[in-house]
Amino acid sequence: MIEVTALTKRYGRTTAVDGLTFTAPPGTVTGFLGPNGAGKSTTMRLIVGLERPTSGTATVDGRPYAELAAPLHDVGVMLDARSAHPGRTAFRHLLGLARTHGIPRSRVDEVIATTGLETVAHRRAGTFSLGMGQRLGIAGALLGDPGTLILDEPVNGLDPDGVLWVRGLVRELAAEGRTVLLSSHLMHELALCADRVVVIGRGRLLADATVAELEDGGSLEDAYLQLTAGAVQYRGGAR
């Protein structure tokens, strides 16, 4: 479970996240929506300890990320599809991650197969398309067989088959009792794969409800546009 409580992050005069509170429960796909500059990526970075909050807390299964003894086994994270060293092959990138946690090579082979990377596993990551980079990022997130997954825009750059694959994957992970938090700009996509949706604007919570509750006779996209009317991108580039 992910719990965010009164979370705030300021950069000088810019408030990227403003008193944000929500929960992503296990067994659920929680969609994370908001316009550019809403604070989604900053919130995800705060959850996994890449930023320090100005105030408030973010925990995974009751503990801050920094206190997790073996984070790859607890939380699988993909925040940047281009995070792999461009000179390393996909296989070597994943094997290096695995060795930090004593994960066997057989698990590396498993996630390569799961994410459809078999034919490019020994190509350098720097030659990958955005879609293949996304698959590599997801492979890294799955490597430790974690109970929680945090995925930032996982369908960016994927072809239609890849989008269907991600949709099925996150539903399968949630059905196994895992916590899945994923951000997306594709409202119709979240309507097809998310159970709940957290909507933020200007770093503040606008809605936290099931997809059915938000649609309420209309479309999720219409509800989203109504909720975020007036939300604009922050100066300073917070996301």
pLDDT at site 30: 97
Distance between CA atoms of 192 and 9, rounded to whole angstroms? 31
Domain parsing of the chain, residue ranges: 2-80+150-228
Helix (H, G, I), strand (E, B) or coil at 6: strand
Side-chain half-sphere exposure of 21, counting CA atoms within 13 A: 4
**In the block, residue with structure tokens 């979370």:** 7
pLDDT at position 217 is: 63
| Residue showing tokens 């699988």 | 76
- What is the C-alpha to C-alpha distance for residues 75 and 173, in angstroms, rounded to an integer? 13
Tens digit of each residue's pLDDT, the chain (239 residues): 999 999 999 999 999 999 999 999 999 999 999 888 889 999 999 999 999 999 999 999 999 999 999 999 999 999 987 889 999 999 999 999 999 999 999 999 999 999 999 999 999 999 999 899 999 999 999 999 999 999 999 988 888 899 999 999 999 999 999 999 999 877 777 888 999 999 999 999 999 999 888 877 667 777 777 777 765 443 334 44
Cα separations (Å) of 70 from 6, 99, 114, 144?
26, 12, 22, 9
pTM of the model: 0.91
| The pLDDT of residue 230 | 60
Q: Burial letters for 195-232: b for 16+ Cβ neighbours within 10 Å, e otherwise? A: bbbbbbbbbbbbbbeebeebbeeeebeebbeebbeebe
User: What's the CATH fold of domain 2-80+150-228?
Assistant: Rossmann fold (3.40.50)
